[in-house]
Amino acid sequence: MRRRHDMPFGAQLAESGEARFNLWAPGTGSVQLLLGGEEHPMQPAPDGLFTLTAPARPGDRYSFRIGSQEVPDPASRYQPEDVHGPSQLVDPEAFEWRDGDWRGRPWEETVLYELHVGTFTPEGTFAGVRERLDYLAGLGVTAIELMPLSDFPGGRNWGYDGVLPFAPESRYGTPEELKELVQAAHERGLMVFLDVVYNHFGPEGNYLHLYAPQFFTDRHRTPWGAAINFDGELSGWVRGFFIHNALYWLEEYHLDGLRLDAVHAIADGSEKHFLIELAERVRRRFDSERHVHLVLENDANEARYLGRGRYDAQWNDDLHHALHVTVTGESGGYYADYADDAIGHLGRCLAEGFAYQGEPSAYRGGVSRGEPSAGLPPVCFVSFLQNHDQVGNRAFGERITELGAPEAVRAAAAIYLLAPQIPMIFMGEEWSTEQPFPFFCDFGPELARAVTEGRREEFARFPEFSDPEMREKIPDPNDPETFRSAVLEPERNGRPELYRELLRLRREEIAPRLRGISGGAAEYRRIGERGLRVRWALGDGSTLTLLANLGPEPARGFGRPEGEPLYSTVRGMEDAMPPWSVAWYLEGVG
């Protein structure tokens, strides 16, 4: 089986031994195609499109000349010489797929494992990840989620500074090697998700401003500067660029899902928001063929985008923050919004989705945040104890195992891995790795200095970094050693038995009962100061109950739920629950 996604821009090979080259460049009057050592003038077409068909073969390298500047194809499928070099023609149909019977997996079976290709293995490649798939399948995860792969400048980056969103990062391997990884994952029953970034481009290697300034708008602002133009003049081309990108990854690479980064930074005043249009296009293309899943990161907690026919789920930062404050006692920065009642916020997240459903956020200056979410089923929310942001945005990239007591971290894991929400593990978490995951990048000298200084200044507002000498200890993102510190070392692996056992229970006892689970069918109750009792009606009519004492002292008053014990962090619990203990019960098992 062979796969190719056709699109109105970029380079597309034909059977005639030619290739069609299209570049949307409304900001310039002429474009030259550089191919085979020769320049070919491209023909103008409506709306600022330039086009040319010329003899070409797979592997040929090409670029465009705008005035005196050579630029890569913004829809390049491969950049072997990094973001400033020429693009390479790829024949997507040269790869022979062997997973024609793969139909994906239902959403309720999903257990995500977020990983960074460059640091997950010592090799830092697609092939290195492929070698670890048997381990991941044995752990009990059902999906790997790759941090962004869009080609980025240099050899080290989280991926959110990508500038060529159709080209998988060449440092990690070729397009064919990424396809081999996806195929190998499917052979083991694992889905593959990709984190995509549609809210900005990175600061180095983005040439769109030169020939397509209409790609951006000053009418909206983002943390990265001018916003991408989703709702102004010629925005149809911009929207199409990203919609085709989503379809491209799902079709040409046979991926099973996408996670859209920080969609609260996608400003769109159109009658039909870009997010709705993208979801409709994806559903129309794939829903009749196989399971394809869409997940959001959205700090605005906009419940309107979630549910059948739209987005399967959203990363639930509220639940993470409540768990983190509970485990660590931290209250700085955005954790301040949860420190007043971390247990209550956690209970609301487990029973209703968001902690903030329209309430004012003190951290955000009293602005109301979120929309009502209690009517959504719990599978519309992705839960986690760690992820790349919550670890890497700390000054030193410390893991939660460095911040909380082992028994507290264990209790938090026992909650989020068995709750009806969709769990996500961050690489290395399952063996309690102590290796950090700091922010790292590899920019040119001038930009590198600005990034290093800017990151240290960012932490100056925190009391612990008010001393300039302390700020100097924050790792330099551009130092190769900062990157190397994040590379997981197999010989330092702990023993992931706890996670393996919890995921076995989830697979056998929880996931089969999640199909058809509805919203509004859960309730929570505080027990004393640090206790919590949560009850869910599952999709098959059974009832799941959580009892948790999330404090350092024994607690009473929980009562014993109906049903059979499913899991407990302690043995022989009486009326009093020991410190940092968790117990699960399942009632109505057929």
Annotated catalytic residue: which of 161, 204, 261, 312? 261
Total number of residues shown for the chain: 590
Beta-carbon neighbour count of residue 372 at 10 Å?
Answer: 14
Q: Which residues make Cβ contacts (< 8 Å) with residue 424, sequence separation at least 6? A: 111, 112, 113, 114, 145, 315, 382, 383, 384, 387
Q: Is 287 a catalytic residue?
A: no
The reply, when asked if residue 264 is annotated as ligand binding, is yes
The reply, when asked if residue 317 is annotated as ligand binding, is yes
Q: Do residues 64 and 24 touch, judged by C-beta distance below 8 A?
A: no
The reply, when asked if residue 229 is annotated as ligand binding, is no
* Backbone conformation region of residue 342, classed left if phi is above 0, alpha if psi is from -120 to 50, else beta: alpha
Q: In 269-305, which positions are buried (b, 16+ CB within 10 angstroms) versus exposed (e)?
A: eeeebbbbbbbebbeeebeeeebbbbbbbbbbbbbeb
Radius of gyration of the chain (CA): 25
Whole-angstrom CA distances from 372 to 303, 358, 380, 542 are: 7, 7, 13, 25
The reply, when asked if residue 116 is annotated as ligand binding, is no
For residue 432, the 8-state DSSP code is T
The reply, when asked if residue 540 is annotated as ligand binding, is no
Whole-angstrom CA distances from 185 to 136, 295, 317 are: 10, 20, 28
Task: For residues 107 and 109, give the distance between their C-alpha atoms in angstroms, rounded to a whole number.
Answer: 5
Task: For residues 296 and 260, give the distance between their C-alpha atoms in angstroms, rounded to a whole number.
Answer: 5
**Token pair recorded at residue 525:** 């109750």
SS3 175: helix
Task: For residues 579 and 549, give the distance between their C-alpha atoms in angstroms, rounded to a whole number.
Answer: 6
Phi and psi, residue 378, nearest 5°? -60, -25
Beta-carbon neighbour count of residue 373 at 10 Å?
Answer: 26
Task: For residues 579 and 533, give the distance between their C-alpha atoms in angstroms, rounded to a whole number.
Answer: 15
**Token pair recorded at residue 414:** 């026992």
Task: For residues 434 and 461, give the distance between their C-alpha atoms in angstroms, rounded to a whole number.
Answer: 27
The reply, when asked if residue 291 is annotated as ligand binding, is no
**Token pair recorded at residue 417:** 């891995």
The reply, when asked if residue 320 is annotated as ligand binding, is yes
SS3 153: coil
Annotated catalytic residue: which of 145, 204, 297, 352? 297
Instruction: Quote helix, strand, coil % in the chain, to nearest 5.
Output: 35, 20, 45
Task: For residues 64 and 32, give the distance between their C-alpha atoms in angstroms, rounded to a whole number.
Answer: 6
Q: Is 231 a catalytic residue?
A: no
Closest CA to 4 of 250, 198, 278: 250
The reply, when asked if residue 273 is annotated as ligand binding, is no
**Token pair recorded at residue 18:** 């030619």
The reply, when asked if residue 292 is annotated as ligand binding, is no
The reply, when asked if residue 259 is annotated as ligand binding, is yes
The reply, when asked if residue 262 is annotated as ligand binding, is yes
Query: CA 240, 245, 249: angle at the middle one, nearest 5?
Result: 150
Q: Do residues 152 and 83 touch, judged by C-beta distance below 8 A?
A: yes
Q: Please spell the DSSP secondary structure of 556-573, one letter per residue.
A: ------SSEEEEESSSS-
Q: Do residues 192 and 146 touch, judged by C-beta distance below 8 A?
A: yes
The reply, when asked if residue 161 is annotated as ligand binding, is no
The reply, when asked if residue 324 is annotated as ligand binding, is no
Active site residues: 261, 297
Binding residues for substrate: 259-264, 317-321, 388-393
